[in-house]
Amino acid sequence: MSIAYNLKQTIATMATAMVQTLTKPLTLTEFLQIPETKPASEFIDGDIIQKPMPQGKHSSLQLDLGSSINLALKTQRIARAYSELRCTFGGRSIIPDISVFIWEHIPRDLDRKVSNLFEIAPDWTIEILSPDQSQTKVIRNIIHCLNHGSQMGWLIDPNEEIVFVYFSDRTLAIFEDKSDLLPMPAFAEGLQLTVGELFSWLEM
- 118 vs 107: CA distance, rounded Å: 6
**Structure pTM?**
0.86
Average of per-residue pLDDT values in the chain: 90
Determine, yes or no, domain membership for 65: yes
Same domain as 128, residue 164: yes
Same domain as 147, residue 95: yes
Q: If you average pLDDT over residues 190-194, what whole number do you get? A: 95
Determine, yes or no, domain membership for 154: yes
Beta bridge partners of 181: 194
Q: CA distances (Å), 113 to each of 24, 116, 153, in order?
A: 38, 9, 27
Same domain as 76, residue 31: no
Determine, yes or no, domain membership for 40: no
pLDDT digits 0-9 by tens, 19-55: 444 457 889 999 999 999 889 999 998 899 999 988 9
Contact 60, 159 (CB under 8 A): no
Same domain as 115, residue 183: yes
- 145 vs 95: CA distance, rounded Å: 11
Q: Range of 18's domain? A: 3-35
Does 3 have pLDDT greater than 50? no
Determine, yes or no, domain membership for 44: no
Q: If you average pLDDT over residues 179-194, what whole number do you get? A: 96
Same domain as 66, residue 9: no
Does 56 have pLDDT greater than 90? yes
pLDDT digits 0-9 by tens, 87-111: 999 999 999 999 999 999 999 999 9
Helix (H, G, I), strand (E, B) or coil at 66: helix
Tell how strand 92-94 and strand 98-102 pair up: unpaired
| Domains of the chain: total | 2
Q: If you average pLDDT over residues 161-165, what whole number do you get? A: 98
Same domain as 115, residue 22: no
Sheet holding 152-157, edge to edge: 79-83, 98-102, 124-128, 152-157, 162-167, 172-175
Q: What is the pLDDT of residue 23?
A: 56
Does 6 have pLDDT greater than 70? no
Given pLDDT bands bounded at 50, 70 and 90, which one contains residue 204? confident
- 182 vs 137: CA distance, rounded Å: 23
CATH code, domain carrying 71: 3.90.1570.10
Same domain as 86, residue 179: yes
Does 9 have pLDDT greater than 80? no
Determine, yes or no, domain membership for 51: no
